[in-house]
């Protein structure tokens, strides 16, 4: 994607934190010579060899996976918070804009084996149930319930390129305090998320 230089985030640790916190993504590939997109969770994981990958699954009835060939290149889009920025918040006259955080990841995909799919689903459920008052575990579910796993296809994406855009009013440092103040007052949509990122971006 096009990212002006001042908005590029090349801090991989910060980008990885973002991916872990915003794991619901859009997976894009070609189906019958047309772009096809599926909304689904993609988890950033580290292989035993220390390689960063994304793991996910989709419904077996989804035709997208049937077009995954060996070494199919895909695009994963992770959207973070976004907020309209009024130019009335600036000290100088300027047009309004939009602040946002987004990450695009390109990589090659392979279909997981059955045991790999089950292991990845265990990790996924355990991660998101960890904060539940009464967490559930796949290990405690009946064989009949777990048969539903047959209805999904798991996959792994080997990460080849990361493009991270963190547009947070860079170049308008003198207006940051006012922008954050106005976002706090408005407090809707992605305003609070943009405030957190702008606070982090402060020197």
Q: What is the pLDDT of residues 63-87, one digit of tens each?
A: 999 999 888 899 999 999 999 999 9
User: Is the per-residue pLDDT at 203 higher than 70?
Assistant: no
Per-residue confidence band for 201, with pLDDT thresholds at 50, 70 and 90: low
Query: What is the model's pTM?
Result: 0.92
Report the pLDDT averaged over residues 119-124. Answer: 90
Structural domains in the chain (count)? 1
Per-residue confidence band for 194, with pLDDT thresholds at 50, 70 and 90: very high
Percent of the chain with pLDDT over 70: 99
Tokens standing for 143? 């064989």
User: Is the per-residue pLDDT at 62 higher than 80?
Assistant: yes
CATH number for the domain that contains residue 171: 2.30.110.10
Give pLDDT tens digits for 141-185: 777 777 888 889 999 999 999 999 999 999 999 999 999 999 999
Is residue 100 within 8 Å of 167, Cβ to Cβ? yes
* Chain mean position to CA 26: 8
Range of the domain at 35: 5-201
- How many residues comprise the chain? 203
């Amino acid at each position: 994607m096009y990212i002006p230089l001042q908005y590029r985030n090349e801090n991989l640790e910060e980008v990885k934190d973002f991916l872990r916190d915003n794991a619901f993504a859009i997976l894009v590939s070609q189906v019958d010579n047309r772009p096809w997109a599926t909304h689904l969770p993609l988890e950033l994981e580290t292989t035993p060899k220390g390689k960063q990958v994304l793991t996910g699954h989709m419904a077996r009835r989804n035709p997208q996976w049937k077009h995954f060939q060996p070494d199919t290149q895909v695009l994963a889009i992770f959207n973070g918070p976004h907020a309209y920025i009024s130019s009335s918040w600036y000290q100088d006259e300027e047009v309004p804009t939009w602040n946002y955080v987004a990450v695009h990841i390109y990589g090659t995909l392979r279909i997981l084996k059955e045991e790999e799919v089950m292991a990845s689903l265990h990790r996924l459920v355990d991660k998101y149930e960890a904060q539940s008052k009464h967490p559930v575990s796949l290990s405690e579910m009946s064989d009949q319930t777990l048969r539903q796993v047959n209805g999904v296809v798991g996959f792994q994406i080997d990460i080849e390129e990361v493009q991270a855009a963190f547009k947070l009013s860079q170049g308008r440092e003198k207006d940051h305090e006012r922008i954050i103040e106005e976002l706090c007052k408005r407090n809707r949509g992605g305003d609070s998320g943009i405030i957190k990122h702008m606070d982090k971006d402060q020197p």
